[in-house]
Amino acid sequence: MITNQRIRGLGLSVAFVLFASLAPVSAAPLTAEQSFPIWPNTVENNNPSPKETVIERSKVAAIHDRAWVNITQSELLAFPTNKSSNCSIVLAPGGGYQRVVFDKEGLDIVPALNEHGLNVFILKYRLPNAQASDREWQPLEDAQRAVRFIRAHAKEWQINNQCVGILGFSAGGQLASSLASQFDRTVYTPIDSADTLSARPDFVGLMYPVITMEKKYTHNGTRKVLLGESPSKQQIQQHSAEKWVTENTPPAFIGLANDDKSVNQMNSIRFYEALHKNNVPVEMHIFQKSGHGFGIRNAKGTAKEWLPLFTQWLEQNQFAG
């Protein structure tokens, strides 16, 4: 088994090769760390050209802060729990839709979630490609497919197909909130039996999320990459998750910092208001300090408690053991 600790200790290029080479395993319980391409090889990824790679952003040799860029193959990196619970959670790291930061908003979070009985799947999702006809829907296509893929393999993996959630950070929060509110939107043509299954997550966690595409409150960089320089009113409407909340939106946990200078707090507040209006169970914490993108390693003050609060919320709602 390749442990989380070993992954963290590997050199950059070796770690990337490791992730790329982990072979999918079929017709077996989910007992070891593996990677699963979520689309058949026959499906075009619509992200040609620059070579997929990993960049290291950390200035400290002992601490990784790596990110995928130019993603060409969407994958789930599975980290099964050894606890009795059989619930699962998809992690959607952030990166402004320009990268997917898989250490501080992925690997760092895995051990605590495993400890609370969750099988963790880090989602390596495609980044919007301006040359692709489905540019603005690519991340949501991958998120929908990821949930369906997990449910399609639930029996052989011996996990619960009725307990699959998602936790998104920053732009990954935009993706997670879009999935939670538009899980039933047809964004790609069904390709196999997995696509007959529901893409609705059973719960959603949002950390310092981008939510709205409305200019007053949006994160301009995220909106530009996803929708281009001059999005239409229809595009803005379609990709503002707060506008699509219904009574069928799954229960939500929201966490953010009062001093976040990157993503306006009204993103989370508007989503909370929409959930509350539609009688969807929701818990929100606004911490005094920590800014943006803090994950767990850079959390300050009471924000250090967000992960224990989240796992407690999961347990209270019977999404974790």
Looking from the CA of 177 toward its CB, the CA atoms found within 13 Å total 34
Shortest CA distance to 253 belongs to which of 237, 275, 236?
275
What whole-number distance in Å separates Cα of residue 310 and Cα of residue 214? 28
We find that the CATH architecture of domain 57-316 is: 3-Layer(aba) Sandwich (3.40)
What whole-number distance in Å separates Cα of residue 315 and Cα of residue 16? 34
pLDDT of 23 = 44
pLDDT of 49 = 60
User: What are 155-199's pLDDT values in tens digits?
Assistant: 999 999 999 999 999 999 999 999 999 999 999 999 999 999 999
User: What are 243-259's pLDDT values in tens digits?
Assistant: 999 999 999 999 999 99
What whole-number distance in Å separates Cα of residue 278 and Cα of residue 157? 34
User: What are 100-151's pLDDT values in tens digits?
Assistant: 999 999 999 999 999 999 999 999 999 999 889 999 999 999 999 999 999 9
Whether 303 shows a pLDDT value over 80: the answer reads yes
Shortest CA distance to 67 belongs to which of 33, 37, 105?
105
Q: What is the mean pLDDT of residues 200-212?
A: 98
Helices (H), 93-137: 110-115
pLDDT of 22 = 44
pLDDT of 85 = 78
Mean pLDDT for the chain? 90
Residue 16 banded pLDDT, cuts 50, 70, 90 = very low
Whether 12 shows a pLDDT value over 80: the answer reads no
Where are the domains positioned within the chain?
57-316
Residue 3 banded pLDDT, cuts 50, 70, 90 = very low
Tokens of 111: 């051990």
Element of type H or E holding 252:
strand 252-257
* Angstrom distances, CA of residue 165 to CA of 99, 129, 181, 304: 22, 26, 13, 22
pLDDT of 7 = 41
User: What are 17-50's pLDDT values in tens digits?
Assistant: 444 444 444 567 898 899 999 999 755 555 556 7
Q: What is the pTM of this model?
A: 0.91
Shortest CA distance to 92 belongs to which of 6, 30, 214, 180?
180
* Angstrom distances, CA of residue 259 to CA of 103, 215, 220, 252, 280: 23, 20, 18, 22, 27
